[in-house]
Amino acid sequence: MKIVRDMREYLFKDELEINVYLDKVDIVNYKELGEIDNNKITIYYDNGKITINGSNLTISKLLNNEVLIIGKINNVELGG
Amino acid sequence: MYNTIILRIKGKNVNKFIERINHKKINIYYIEYIKYNEVKIEVSYKDYDTILRLKTIYEVSIDGYKGIKKINNNINSNKYLLISLLFGIILFTILINTIFDIEVVYSGNKLREYIYKELEKNGIKKYHLVKSFDEIEDIKKGILEDNKDILEWIEIERVGTKYIVKIEPRKINIIEEDNKIYNIVSNRSAIIKSIEANSGEVVKKINNYVNKGDIIISSNISLNDEVKKQVSAKGSVYGEVWYKVNIVYPLNYYEEKETGNESIYYNISIFNKDINLSKYKDYKKEDEIIIKNDILPIYISKQKQREIEKIDYKLDKESGINKAMEEGRKKINNNLNDKEYIIDEKCLKISYKDSKIVLDIFYTVYKDITEYIEIEG
């Protein structure tokens, strides 16, 4: 049924999602952590990597499928 | 998230350790960097052992708990205090509900001792638990009914951990025909309201105030202040007497009243739960067991059900006062014969205690005050 399908898609999202806020970046459905540095954090996903550049970067929350990075965000790069 | 632990990790490259934890698919709910080589993380309590196995050169220490584990920890570290507190509360509750003293207010030793024994028989004794309001009422009724010939009145009042029992003995004035000479005296303080003298001389008048023991009908027949003859006084005297009654009436009223409807159903009882086709909402039951299991509490029975109506409500102040006054009247009337009656009642004091209304009521009663006293010599 369409309703059931829509509900499953809403509840069990598996697509990569990047939410950029002021001083925070939230990434959902990542694959693994890469480099972690005060000025640069690399996160890998299925088809590439995300590089967050800034200063005073730290990981605030690290779940199996979600990571929250806080600090002064300069830019977020998506790469293959 | 409900049972988490906060760990402090110290080491050369804490980020590497965090990656290691992450590789093991352990969720880290919170990370706080304290120093370049020290970090605080919050993980599930169940992952703690895994982290300990991964730590190698890193120092891992527990900084705190969250969730049920925190509560458990607090209880554990304060268990002696909590146990003492609980024990104290239980002991206090037991002590304030224990009878430490019983006083029967009456001068005569014999009757007083007898009343103590009756109270003991009904479970009112020292170092036993206090009785409820209903139990006390039943006990008073029971003692009065069993001792109608010696007791006119009994009141049991609880004052803290003490019971004060007030009694009024019944004076039996059955005088056998004998050669003894009697005076008729008043058996209590009263205002005389009627005198019926069959023999003897009436020495008091209507509306005279008499004390206990005052002669009302004398055996001495006098003329011109000279005792001419002595006869045994016979008659009856009625007077206005006074009672002060303390009534405690519960404001929460509960009664089960049978409606008169009854039916018989087959019933299956499983672990004290009844299964039947009863149409009654509330009922009293009597089971006649047909089949019973000896090991488990399961049986089939023929159940006789009598429908009841539950009346449960809280009385307002006015209704509570009216009910308590009714109760007081009933108490007084229970001890009056056909010729005796309540002249007047007055509520002296109303107070409230633990959802009960406490009334002090003053009654003026028309009562038989006749007592025969034998004349010596």
What token pair was written down for B306? 């009598």
Name which residue leads in pLDDT, B29 or B179.
B29
Q: What is the mean pLDDT of the segment spanning B16-20?
A: 87
B29 touching chain A per CB within 8 A: yes
Pairs of residues, one from chain A and one from chain B, whose beta carbons lie less than 8 Å apart: 31
Give yes or no for residue B22 having a pLDDT over 70: yes
Q: What average pLDDT does range A46-72 have in this prediction? A: 91
Option in A32, A36, A60 nearest B30 (CB): A60
Cβ-based neighbours of B264, under 8 Å, separated by 6 or more: B302, B303, B304, B305
Q: Which pLDDT value is given to residue B346?
A: 92
HSE of B58, CA atoms in CB hemisphere, 13 A: 25
User: What's the gap in Å between the CA of B70 and the closest CA on chain A?
Assistant: 21
CA A67 – CA A33 distance, rounded (Å): 9
Amino acid in the structure at residue B299: Y
Residue of chain A whose alpha carbon sits nearest to that of B24: A64
The model's pLDDT over B277-318, given as tens digits with 9 standing for 90+, comes to 888 888 898 888 888 877 778 889 898 999 998 888 788 888
Output the pLDDT for position B178.
64
Report residue B249's pLDDT band, with 50, 70 and 90 as the boundaries.
confident
Q: Which residue has the higher pLDDT, A8 or B322?
A: B322
Which chain A residues are closer than 8 Å to B31 by Cβ? 58-62
pLDDT tens, B40-68? 999 998 999 999 988 888 999 999 888 88
Confidence of residue B331 (pLDDT cuts 50, 70, 90): confident
Strands B3-10 and A66-79: unpaired
Assess contact for B49 and B10: CB atoms under 8 A: no
Average pLDDT value for residue range B4-11: 92
d(CA B344, CA B342): 6
| Residue B360 neighbours by CB under 8 Å, 6+ apart | B244, B245, B246, B347, B348, B349
Flag whether the pTM goes above 0.80.
Answer: no
Task: Give how far the C-alpha of residue B216 lies from the chain's centroid of Cα atoms, to the nearest Å.
Answer: 44
Phi–psi pair at A68, nearest 5 degrees: -120, 120
Q: Does residue B171 have a pLDDT over 70? A: no
DSSP state of A72: E
Query: Is B174's pLDDT higher than 70?
Result: no
Residues of A in contact with B25 (CB under 8 A): 64
* Amino acid, res. A9: E
Residue B142 CA: distances (Å) to CA of A41, B101, B255, B257 = 88, 22, 20, 22
**Token pair of B331, please?**
């108490």
* Residue B89 in this model has a pLDDT that exceeds 90: yes
**Chain A residues near residue B42 by CB distance under 8 angstroms:** none
How many whole angstroms separate alpha carbon B92 and alpha carbon B99? 13
Which class for A34: exposed (0-12), middle (13-18), buried (19 or more C-beta within 10 A)?
Answer: middle
